[in-house]
Amino acid sequence: MATPRITVLAGDGIGPEIVASALEVLNQIGDFEFDHHEFGGCSIDSTGVALTDETLAACRDSDAVLLGAVGGPKWDTTDPDAPRPEQGLLGLRSGLGLFANLRPVKPLAALADASPLRPEVIGGCDLLVVRELTGGIYFGKRGREGDSAFDTCEYTVEEIERIARVAFRSARSGVTSVDKANVLETSRLWRETVVALHEREFPEVKLDHLLVDNAAMQLVSEPTAFDVILTENLFGDILSDEAAMITGSIGLLPSASLGLDGPGVFEPVHGSAPDIAGTGKANPYATLLSVAMMLRHGLEMPEHATAVESAVDSAIADGVRTADLGGAATTDDATQAVLQRLNS
Ligand code: IPM
Ligand code: MG
């Protein structure tokens, strides 16, 4: 097989540090070609936009995209005309047609004490948030008129069906579709479409529905009741941060953003943590777990994916914890611990 080509978008804040850790691990696994591009705030500084056409074209041309994190106080603004680092993320998602965002949440037994929830509540939790990523209020018409502002949420049957298929295919014990069908018209279409698709194509999968406010509550009261959570863009954004805390730290959550074909984007769920950038303290585990998702979903190297996941689990179980996990390990300590375990 030809050497996989990976576009690397390290981004801002701790992005370059956690991506450096990921590249060390990839270099140990095999031969990869890395093509680095500026993205987010640093790209705004040098080109005026968060994602240039050239960078998007490079991503399209590669086998997978590895992303660090974007943003920071330097680029925070409420000026609707000013460029924002997040526009890079949204441009990448729509430009590559990445409608399916997968965010697995599986707390490690070794970190039970790091979770704000009691061990008996989280024991056995193993869920996947399947978030629609290129529709809804994130991409609807928005604007300002005088002293009012608006954002619109739209979904089509086709958009709902394609993300629902991803959820049904990922299910082990069942799918919980989350909406706000008691209030929103898009949610009523969502529920209707999911029910019809379920009957037509996936009658053997268990399906239930929750309103998003109730889902937010159930997620912390009984997280083990969930297998796959299927939801729209904005609800998925919020619920996936909430679900992340079940593990004790958002520093452990990986994600994959996939389209129908073409390269996917693999990135940690956490942000650019500008407050600790450059201190060497950033937790690289979520990025390493995103590398595992890239190996599994993007490069068809599932054995290597499992090896990286086991190495991360074992490093954490052996107490190699970064500050966010209550330890004193540096980014490099954590990286070396994973490399060592990959070797043995
Ligand atoms: C995420 C992030 C992004 C989102 C932001 C940075 C635009 O929160 O990937 O969850 O809202 O989708
Ligand atoms: Mg988010």
- Furthest CA-CA distance within the chain: 64
- In the CATH hierarchy, which top-level class contains the domain 116-247? alpha beta
CA of 341 to the centre of ligand 2 (A): 31
Express each pLDDT in 249-258 by its tens digit.
Answer: 888 999 999 9
Residue 74 CA to residue 84 CA, distance in Å, equals 10
Q: How confident is the model at residue 80 (pLDDT cuts 50, 70, 90)?
A: confident
Q: Is the pLDDT of residue 202 over 70?
A: yes
Name the active-site residue from 63, 237, 313, 324.
237
Q: What percent of the chain clears pLDDT 70, i.e. is strictly above it? A: 100
pLDDT of 1 > 70? The answer is: no
Residue from 74, 106, 206, 241 carrying the catalytic annotation: 241
C-beta of 237 in contact with ligand 1 (< 6 A): yes
Q: Count Cβ neighbours within 10 Å for each residue of 118-127 and write b for 16 or more, e otherwise.
A: eeebbeebeb
Residues 268-288: tens digit of each pLDDT: 999 999 999 999 999 999 999
From the CA of 93, give the closest atom in ligand 1.
12
Ligand 1 centroid distance, CA of 161 (Å): 22
C-alpha–C-alpha distance, residues 257 and 263, integer Å: 9
The reported pLDDT for the residue numbered 98 is 98
User: In the chain, where are the structural domains located?
Assistant: 1-101+254-344, 116-247
Q: Count CB neighbours of 146 within 10 A.
A: 5
Ligand 2 mean position to 201 CA, how many Å? 30
Q: In this structure, is the dihedral angle defined by the CA atoms of residues 179, 182, 186 and 189, taken in order, positive or negative?
A: positive
* Distance linking the first and last C-alpha atoms of the chain: 25
Active site residue 180: yes
pTM of structure: 0.95
Looking at 45, 213, 275, 318, which residue is catalytic? 213
Q: Closest ligand to 103 CA?
A: 1
47 membership: H or E segment, kind and range = helix 41-47
d(CA 12, CA 68): 8
Residues ≥6 apart with Cβ < 8 Å to 34: 6, 8, 23, 26
Centre a 10 Å sphere on the Cβ of residue 44 and count the other Cβ atoms it contains: 23
Same fold, 1-101+254-344 and 116-247: yes
State the ligand closest to the CA atom of 90.
1
Q: What is 1-101+254-344's CATH superfamily?
A: Isopropylmalate Dehydrogenase (3.40.718.10)
CA distance 321 to 331: 10
